[in-house]
Amino acid sequence: MSTITPHNALIYAMVIAALADGKLKDSEVGAIDLAVRSLPIFKGYSVDAMRVATGDCVALLDEEDGVEAALGLVKEALPEDWSETAYALACDVVAVDGRARQEELRWLEMLRHEIGVERLHAAAIERGARARYKRNHAMATA
């Protein structure tokens, strides 16, 4: 198993979360793209590198035992002090369409365990993602 860069580990964490329900939606790709373009942790990381990493992760997830392999790569490449960042980015990708499906929550739990994010910290991160992507139902019905 080859290794990936720490930045690619963040991309893999987001792609794993995005594909939990079986499809990579435009809104999820947009959230990944926005993170790469705007967050300080991605300074110096190119959108082209993101696209390559996304494709590599999707291909790996299509393989037998691909989820375990992808999670292993994330765990191996991710600096310990980036674990909560990776989890937060994955939560944002899940939350971007306004609701988390059961499959997505299971994958987030697998990711949390693999990269060592404590349960209480994960709950705070999840709540923050839910708050950031809250929908205005009054505007939606107008």
- 67-126 residue pLDDT tens: 999 999 999 999 999 999 999 999 999 999 887 788 888 999 999 999 999 999 999 999
pLDDT in tens, 30-63: 999 999 999 999 999 999 999 999 999 999 999 9
Give residue 29's pLDDT: 94
Q: Which residues, including other chains, have CB under 8 Å from residue 99's CB and lie 6 or more apart?
A: none
- With a pLDDT cut of 90, the percent of the chain lying above it is 77
SS3 2: coil
**Is domain 6-141 in CATH 1.10.3720.10, yes or no?**
no
Quick one: pLDDT at residue 63? Answer: 93
Look at residue 137 in the predicted model and tell me its pLDDT.
Answer: 62
Neighbours of 110 (CB within 10 A): 16
What does the block give as tokens for 131?
Answer: 């708050």
What does the alpha-carbon distance between residue 72 and residue 77 come to, in Å, rounded to a whole number? Answer: 9
Could you state, in order of their start, the residue ranges of all structural domains in the chain? 6-141
Instruction: Please give the Cα distance from 25 to 5 (Å, whole number).
Output: 24
